[in-house]
Structure 1
Amino acid sequence: MNKFWVVFLLLITSVSVVFSQNQVINQSDTQNDIYLNWHLKSPSNDLIFGAEVERAYNLIPQNKKATTIIVAVLDGGIDIYHEDLKGNIWVNTNEIPDNGIDDDNNGYIDDINGWNFLGNSKGENIDYENLEVTRIYKLYKNKYDGINPKSIPANETESYNLYIEAKKIYLKKLKEAEQTRDQLNSFESSYLASKELVIDYLKKDTLTIDDLNTIKSEDKDLMRSAEFLRYLIEIDFSLDQIEEFKEYNNEELNYHLNLDFNPRAIINDNILELSPTYGNNNVVGSQSEHGTFVAGIIGAVRNNGLGIDGIANSLKIMALNVVPNGDERDKDVANAIRYAADNGARIINMSFGKELSPQKKLIDEAILYAQQKGVLFVHASGNDAANLDKEKNFPTKIINKTLSVDNWITVGASSMKNDLNFVADFSNYGKKSVDLFAPGVNIKSLVPDNKYDIFDGTSFSCPVVAGVAALIWSYYPELSASDIKYIILNSTNVYSDLKTNKPTITTKKSKKTSFKNLSITGGVVSAYKAFLLAESKYNKK
């Protein structure tokens, strides 16, 4: 999380506002280009701790041919018409566009570039959704609220325990959101009152630090107001930032945590039934910023003189819209996984996650189905600064509580310098559960309408690894998903002696830890070393 926001939160609230994987931190597009393609650079060649993608390309012989790899991006919508992406969008050649017929008999009508699982046949789409804990609490509230646990039938124990867990999380989130609303309003009132008082004293409509420094008065309220405004100017505060927080807080209260909100009514489906009889082919949707950004990291057209360079140069992006502003539904994710596997995707990028998964069985079965078809999953670890060895995060590679699939990579976020802030302060981690780290701080990529921006998040370290996987696989298409995982995990840049701050989203001082203790490999993805390992170990395969 950007340090400014932490300071800002200290001013307005005593509770932490945690940005979920699909609520990214946004920075101005007018920043200089120090961050342009930094995630592709090399610690040895550039002294920047990127994924060594350009160094890998310098290693690849010019006469070495690449095979096109299809990467399915399960996310929000994707701007498939973006100037820097449209050349790399997957096209279903077995479907005739806009004829209203399922030409390839795959159950989806006019699925030219993928599918939108958040809409209906009328073209209506879901923009906002509840959190999963809200849906679970709402589903079981009337049935289980106030009931004696000893009276629960044995066959309902699992659903009752799920309800209790969801209720605890939901009520905590609701309380925090309501407190934040009140504190935001209080802060805004204090700011406006302080500004009015100082402007009235100085007889000026705009204020500078020099103006504030001229104030000398025995009026304690005036002096406190001047000091308050001086600090806000020093940290580049503006009223727009309050409005941004209020907008997010309103989304929490009106949509994410609202028990009366039911956007799924436009689809009117059975959430337990996987039948692909819903959705539409509008893969752009109305919530396409996050998905476009993710897709750009993997597959922005390289060396075209526009925007950024993607990681893989021989790929197609399959757009699968499953993530609203809120939590994704297990059914949609499971259907999208099956769609991707059935339509030739070799890699599935999943830059989303949540705390509970009530229909986990549907996803488990879809993962095993895709595993049989040779698909590699790449999943973001999440942005809660949590130890995933102890905390839940779904979806997961653990099937039926015991089986761990070997075609799954979980990714944490790192930054461009190997100092105490090398690991992103928001990144989830885990010595047993996070495989490796990849660049995920100050990443520049695509946003809708031919624009570009800079965001932070494990959502964006995840596609770095997916892109590296696509790059390696395109030159070694005969390899299996487990081979690609082995190559990536055994070719990282390992920093055994590096000390870094342990991720935290609280205002407490960070504790130092060894970087090697935060993931299985103790390393950062390296396309260069992955290519070397593939060449030496698998060239004869």
Structure 2
Amino acid sequence: MVDLKKLSLMGLLAVNISLGAAAYNTVSAQDSDPLRGAPENWFNLDKEKGGVYGIGTEAAYNEILKGKKSTKVVVAVIDSGIDIDHEDLKDIIWTNEKEIAGNGKDDDNNGYIDDVHGWNFIGGANGENVSEDNLEVTREFARLNAKYGDKTEEEISKADKKEFEYYQQVKESYDKGYQKSLQSLMQYSAIQQEFLRSKKLMEAYFGVEEVPLDSLSDFSSPDENVMLMAELFKELKAQGVGEEDLQEAVDYFTSQVKYSYNTDFNSREVIGDDYANLKEKGYGNNDVIGPGAEHGTHVAGIIGAVRNNNLGIKGVADNVEIMVLRAVPDGDERDKDIANAIRYAADNGARVINMSFGKAFSPDKEAVDEAVKYAIGKGVLFVHAAGNDNKNTDKESNFPSANYLKGGYAKNWIEVGALNWKDDETMPATFSNYAKKRVDIFAPGVDIYSTVPGSKYEAYNGTSMASPVVAGAAAVLMSYYPSMSAADVKKVLIKSAIDMKKKEVYLPGYKRDLAQGKEPEKVKFGELSNSGGIVNLYNAVKYADKRYK
């Protein structure tokens, strides 16, 4: 769950900063930047009337679905937690009718006590909650380093060769990530200190609390160090970087060093489960909000924020219930928790599962695969965010994935890349992962305005935002055309997508090149996913209306 905010210093410094609760390793599935010119409600608009490649939600309701009956569809959101009291969400939160709230009993005998609105798999029985966690690469490094850390390759037995090679890959990734975070923390701490010094100096010189950018050109000093400070202040201000941004950067990298790459940190002490027992369930608690619910709340709003209450925003689906499954901390999710969350969703009536999270390593992928197979057997459709590392996931790992560890793949699975709202070379979001085989389709994921805790609203970026756009669209099809199976829904969404295969666009990661004055690599949009298309609900409903009445 992240996306990436770019800070550039003097045209030379380019560092990716992930903000938010759910992380794709160095990637958050979101970014709390304010709107940067995107049309209001753009993800629900269409090219013909709105001038953007939204998914045509409004046109679908106004021109095809108006007056039609629909059935309630449950969408499970596996995420960081959701503010179930949000003004725009409280009426669409799923309730377990078989459970009596607050009686301390497992009324429906499903292994979870008082699971009224879902379950929190990263909480303790005493009510405590996990907020931060380390990355999977850190956990794997700690596990394997205890076994191989003091051994040379010559000392490794033939039986351990393969695992030792894996350890070396993990160690390289861990060392690189830890050093980068440590260096970035030192770098941004230094920049922050210099910025605050220069800010104070500029404010004193001009006699105002907020120095206008155009006034800085008039500043001069014979002191070379003072002029360097002034240039720093001017450059950062020109980029829109302020005191709050730098503090967020320092906080982020502090958390990376303190939690993400800390091999001694163990969040499971809070939960108290037998972590090695992958079949264990019933651990956790029923606090589905938890700390850090920003990401999950934003995702939930995109899927189904109430459309007719004259509040906030309009979600994609108009007859949906959101099942809350908290399993994603500020750090990497654990395979055991994800597998249990998937099974819970399938057992309690979810038709769609949205998963806006991911990581580079998955030591217990087989447990997740088995849960995915179980849910697909119950007719569930998976919608997963492709990730925000601007990498080709045909070549680099990103989990969870539709490809099973032991061969084969999950057919009822849609992998979603993120789309910018601009109809030019920057159409694919600069942060979005892509793949000719393993990414299915693209959907709006930049400047997406949605719900956040406290009945508030913010704009985030990320494939984490693109995934719930598709999940919402899937829910609409299931709601109005209940005879459609999960496989049908995937087929229709792919088949009805707007074909952009031949459009020339920048390869994701292009902002890095542009910041350095380089011309980014151009590719055909069709190289970024197997469909080469953009999800369009209007087209999908039009298609379904002819075939699934």
Q: 1:502 maps to what in 2?
A: 507
Gaps of 5+ in 1: none
The question of whether the paired residues in 1 share the 8 Å contact of 2:503 and 2:524 is answered with yes
Quote the offset at 1:236 in angstroms. 2.8
Quote the offset at 1:228 in angstroms. 3.2
Q: In structure 2, the residue corresponding to 1:207 is in which secondary structure? A: coil
Quote the offset at 1:95 in angstroms. 0.8
The one of 229, 243, 250 equivalent to 1:246 is 250
Quote the offset at 1:512 in angstroms. 1.4
Q: 1:302 maps to what in 2?
A: 307
The one of 39, 44, 67 equivalent to 1:40 is 44
Distance between the aligned counterparts of 2:147 and 2:251, measured in 1?
33
Higher mean C-alpha deviation, range 457-466 or range 145-154: 145-154
Distance between the aligned counterparts of 1:119 and 1:427, measured in 2?
31
Q: 1:466 maps to what in 2?
A: 471
The one of 319, 323, 334 equivalent to 1:314 is 319
> AA paired with 2:33?
Q
Cα deviation per residue 1:341-385 (whole Å; 9 max; x = unaligned)?
Answer: 001101000000000000011001101111111110000000000
Quote the offset at 1:504 in angstroms. 0.7
Distance between the aligned counterparts of 1:48 and 1:14, measured in 2?
29
The one of 27, 30, 49 equivalent to 1:24 is 30
Q: Does 1:177 align with 2:187?
A: no
Cα deviation per residue 1:7-59 (whole Å; 9 max; x = unaligned)?
Answer: 4356684654456443521124xx69954311000112221110111111123
Q: 2:419 maps to what in 1?
A: 414
Q: Does 1:286 align with 2:296?
A: no
Quote the offset at 1:388 in angstroms. 0.9
Distance 1:505 1:23, change over 3 A: farther
Q: Does 1:515 align with 2:515?
A: no
Quote the offset at 1:517 in angstroms. 1.2
Q: In structure 2, the residue corresponding to 1:430 is in which secondary structure? A: coil
Q: Does 1:103 align with 2:113?
A: no
Structure 1 vs Structure 2 CA RMSD: 2.2
The one of 515, 526, 535 equivalent to 1:525 is 535
Quote the offset at 1:237 in angstroms. 2.8
Q: 2:451 maps to what in 1?
A: 446
> AA paired with 2:254?
N
Higher mean C-alpha deviation, range 181-190 or range 102-111: 181-190
The question of whether the paired residues in 2 share the 8 Å contact of 1:38 and 1:416 is answered with yes
Quote the offset at 1:333 in angstroms. 0.1
> AA paired with 2:501?
S
Distance between the aligned counterparts of 1:338 and 1:266, measured in 2?
23
Distance between the aligned counterparts of 2:351 and 2:9, measured in 1?
42
Q: 1:233 maps to what in 2?
A: 237
Q: Does 1:323 align with 2:333?
A: no
The question of whether the paired residues in 1 share the 8 Å contact of 2:417 and 2:441 is answered with yes
Q: In structure 1, the residue corresponding to 2:460 is in which secondary structure? A: strand
The question of whether the paired residues in 1 share the 8 Å contact of 2:122 and 2:129 is answered with yes
The question of whether the paired residues in 2 share the 8 Å contact of 1:13 and 1:180 is answered with no
Gaps of 5+ in 2: none
The question of whether the paired residues in 1 share the 8 Å contact of 2:29 and 2:464 is answered with no
> AA paired with 1:370?
A
Q: Does 1:395 align with 2:405?
A: no
Cα deviation per residue 1:428-464 (whole Å; 9 max; x = unaligned)?
Answer: 0011110000000000000001000000000000000
Q: Does 1:8 align with 2:8?
A: yes
Q: Does 1:135 align with 2:139?
A: yes
> AA paired with 1:265?
E
Q: Does 1:535 align with 2:545?
A: yes
Distance between the aligned counterparts of 2:119 and 2:426, measured in 1?
39
Quote the offset at 1:201 in angstroms. 5.5
Cα deviation per residue 1:384-423 (whole Å; 9 max; x = unaligned)?
Answer: 0001111100001111242012100000000222211111
Distance between the aligned counterparts of 2:330 and 2:65, measured in 1?
44
The question of whether the paired residues in 2 share the 8 Å contact of 1:413 and 1:458 is answered with yes
Higher mean C-alpha deviation, range 112-121 or range 160-169: 160-169
Q: In structure 2, the residue corresponding to 1:454 is in which secondary structure? A: strand
Q: Does 1:147 align with 2:151?
A: yes
Quote the offset at 1:178 in angstroms. 1.1
* TM-score when normalising by structure 2: 0.92
The one of 74, 99, 116 equivalent to 1:70 is 74
Number of residues of Structure 1 aligned to a counterpart in Structure 2: 536
